């Protein structure tokens, strides 16, 4: 059998995430046509793929590209615009008025470019995005070489983007049609939240999700106020209403899921739904601590999200991994809760599975896209290194990411983005800083 690979990426440690939790020392990942063809010992790889170009990472851990299961990428342009407020004051008094004034296709294109650059620099190769002008967002992700699931966003109030649920859905679905078949850009249905979407619109979304086989990406049970208001308005808790409407299913990505009763955890498990856990945003908006230990104990899949840069204020999954682990331990009183390998799996494979992409991303496995992230563990602050998985979650940060590939294409080399110069991105940020600052 003749085997070819155009690229071998050889690393001190290859951490494939599945199957099992192995740490492979001095291994190589062979890549052909954007996909992984083999994971094997380095010496064997050099013989078997003699013609391949080799990229050597002597002191690095090579991990699957991280999957950001919830973000609003273009909100990077509103980073630090409104801090230290709880969710509804933050939205109603600061963010929604600013969005009403500034959001446009160029805003979304530029904000998404900036966010995608930040995410790639931090080892995030795929994100699940929910924002206005999905077509502009898709174009930005494509331009910079990132993989993204873009939301067909729906909210029941008018914005510069659309004036009715019908128009949001029509425009979002038209964008999806336009990007169909793209190897890196996919779509999800993205109703904003139970308090901003009507029963009729949720019913339409259920039908569309079934017809088009799309995930449903939805903020849910983020605050105690959301739950009590839901009871006041609809006579039942939001998740009960969503279950009645058919929204709760295996394709649901419920974002935040902070305030859950035991029966609601059981309900999510029963339907095979996923949760996008966003620890920084939940802490910064004082929303609460999501019951991740209880969710995972019942078998609910949990991925990690950054939320937008206006409520975090970083798009950094290394921080989210560390916080997820520490919050699980302190809130359960159990230091063994969410060990490092489990958290790394949440930030990779579990996010991929939640997006319906388990066969194409999330682990370093033959047949999957070569979405990879190299983390330098040779620095002063990462010494000594007895266990690279421990370091990835508890010690290293996004500043240790040196090289990133998406579909076998290098997008970050020696910490430099290859598709866009930093100077161009900084100039874009300056323009919007001036506009939003006035």
Ligand X SMILES: CSC[C@H]1O[C@@H](n2cnc3c(O)ncnc32)[C@H](O)[C@@H]1O
Q: Which residues bind ligand X (CB under 6 A)?
A: 72, 87, 91, 95, 99, 130-132, 153, 155, 192-193, 219, 222, 281, 307-308, 311
Distance of closest approach, residue 192 Cβ to ligand X, in angstroms: 4
Q: Which is nearer to Zn ion, 264 or 307 (CB)?
A: 307
How many whole angstroms separate alpha carbon 155 and alpha carbon 416? 37
Q: Which is nearer to ligand X, 98 or 418 (CB)?
A: 98
Distance of closest approach, residue 137 Cβ to ligand X, in angstroms: 10
58 annotated as belonging to a binding site for a ligand: no
Q: Which of the choices Zn ion, ligand X, none does residue 193 contact, using the CB cut-off of 5 to 8 A by kind?
A: ligand X
First to last CA, the chain: 65
Q: Which is nearer to Zn ion, 30 or 148 (CB)?
A: 148
Of all residues in the shown chain, the one whose CB is closest to Zn ion is: 307
Q: Reduced to 3 states, what is the DSSP secondary structure of residue 187?
A: strand
Q: How far does CA 65 lie from the centroid of its chain?
A: 11
Distance of closest approach, residue 105 Cβ to Zn ion, in angstroms: 21
How many whole angstroms separate alpha carbon 348 and alpha carbon 9? 19
Q: Which of the choices ligand X, Zn ion, none does residue 28 contact, using the CB cut-off of 5 to 8 A by kind?
A: none
Which residues partner with 319 through β-bridges? none
Q: Which of the choices Zn ion, ligand X, none does residue 61 contact, using the CB cut-off of 5 to 8 A by kind?
A: none
Residues found near Zn ion in the complex (CB under 5 A) = 307
List strands edge to edge, sheet with 147-154. Answer: 66-71, 124-129, 147-154, 185-191, 216-220, 252-256, 274-277, 301-304
* Burial letters 192-214, b for 16+ CB under 10 A, else e: bbbbebeeebbebbbebbeeeeb
99 annotated as belonging to a binding site for a ligand: yes
Q: Which of the choices ligand X, Zn ion, none does residue 406 contact, using the CB cut-off of 5 to 8 A by kind?
A: none
Q: How far does CA 56 lie from the centroid of its chain?
A: 28
307 annotated as belonging to a binding site for a ligand: yes
Neighbours of 6 (CB within 10 A): 15
Distance of closest approach, residue 71 Cβ to Zn ion, in angstroms: 7
Distance of closest approach, residue 232 Cβ to ligand X, in angstroms: 18
Q: Which is nearer to Zn ion, 61 or 193 (CB)?
A: 193
Q: Which is nearer to ligand X, 72 or 176 (CB)?
A: 72
26 annotated as belonging to a binding site for a ligand: no
Q: Which is nearer to ligand X, 99 or 371 (CB)?
A: 99
Distance of closest approach, residue 269 Cβ to ligand X, in angstroms: 24
70 annotated as belonging to a binding site for a ligand: yes
Distance of closest approach, residue 66 Cβ to Zn ion, in angstroms: 18
* Burial letters 410-423, b for 16+ CB under 10 A, else e: bbbeeeebebbeee
Q: Which of the choices Zn ion, ligand X, none does residue 192 contact, using the CB cut-off of 5 to 8 A by kind?
A: ligand X
Query: CA nearest 322: which of 298, 339, 310?
Result: 339
Q: Which of the choices Zn ion, ligand X, none does residue 222 contact, using the CB cut-off of 5 to 8 A by kind?
A: ligand X
**116 HSE (CA, 13 A, CB side):** 31
| DSSP assignments along 209-263, one per residue | HHHHT--EEEEES-SHHHHHHHHHHHSS-HHHHHHHHT--STTEEEEE--S--HH
Tally of helices (H runs) and strands (E runs) in the chain: 17, 16
Element containing residue 67 per DSSP (H, E): strand 66-71
219 annotated as belonging to a binding site for a ligand: yes
Q: Which is nearer to ligand X, 191 or 408 (CB)?
A: 191
Q: What angle do CA 82, 87, 92 make, to 5 degrees?
A: 70
222 annotated as belonging to a binding site for a ligand: yes
Positions at the binding site for Zn(2+): 70, 72, 219, 307
> Which residue ranges are tagged as binding site for substrate?
99, 192, 222, 307
Residues of the binding site:
70, 72, 99, 192, 219, 222, 307
């Amino acid at each position: 059998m003749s085997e070819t690979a155009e690229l071998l990426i050889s690393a001190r440690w290859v951490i494939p995430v599945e199957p099992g939790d192995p740490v492979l020392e001095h291994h190589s990942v062979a890549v052909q046509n954007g996909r992984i063809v083999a994971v094997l010992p380095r010496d064997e790889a050099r013989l078997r793929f003699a013609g391949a170009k080799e990229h050597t990472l002597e002191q690095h851990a090579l991990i699957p590209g991280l999957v950001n299961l919830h973000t609003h990428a273009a909100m990077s342009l509103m980073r630090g615009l409104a801090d230290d407020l709880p969710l509804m004051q933050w939205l109603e008094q600061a963010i929604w008025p600013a969005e009403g004034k500034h959001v446009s296709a160029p805003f979304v294109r530029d904000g998404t470019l900036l966010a995608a650059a930040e995410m790639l620099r931090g080892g995030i190769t795929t994100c699940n995005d929910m924002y206005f002008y999905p077509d502009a967002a898709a174009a930005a992700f494509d331009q910079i070489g990132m993989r993204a699931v873009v939301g067909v966003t729906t909210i029941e109030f008018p914005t510069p983007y659309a004036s009715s649920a019908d128009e949001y859905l029509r425009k979002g679905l038209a964008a999806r049609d336009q990007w169909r078949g793209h190897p890196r850009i996919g779509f999800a249905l993205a109703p904003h939240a139970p308090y901003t979407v009507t029963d009729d619109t949720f019913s339409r979304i259920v039908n569309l999700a079934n017809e088009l086989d799309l995930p449903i990406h939805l903020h849910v049970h983020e605050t105690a106020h959301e739950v009590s208001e839901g009871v006041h308005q609809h006579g039942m808790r939001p998740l009960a209403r969503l279950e009645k409407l058919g929204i709760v299913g295996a394709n649901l990505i419920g974002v935040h899921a902070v305030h859950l009763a035991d029966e609601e955890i059981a309900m999510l498990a029963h339907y095979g739904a996923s949760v996008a856990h966003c620890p920084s945003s939940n802490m910064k908006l004082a929303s609460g601590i999501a019951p991740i230990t209880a969710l995972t104990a019942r078998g609910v899949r949990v991925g990690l999200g950054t939320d937008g840069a206006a409520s975090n204020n970083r798009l950094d999954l290394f921080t989210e991994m560390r916080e997820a682990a520490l919050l699980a331990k302190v809130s359960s009183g159990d230091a063994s809760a969410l060990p490092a390998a489990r958290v790394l799996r949440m930030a990779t494979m579990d996010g991929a599975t939640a997006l319906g992409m388990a066969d194409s991303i999330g682990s370093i496995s033959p047949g999957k896209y070569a979405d990879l992230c190299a983390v330098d563990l040779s620095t002063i602050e990462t010494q000594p290194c007895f266990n690279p998985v421990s370091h990835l979650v508890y010690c290293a940060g996004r500043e240790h990411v040196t090289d990133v590939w998406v579909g076998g294409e290098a997008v970050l080399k020696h910490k430099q983005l290859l598709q866009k110069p930093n100077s161009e991105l900084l100039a874009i940020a300056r323009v919007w800083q001036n506009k939003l600052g006035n």
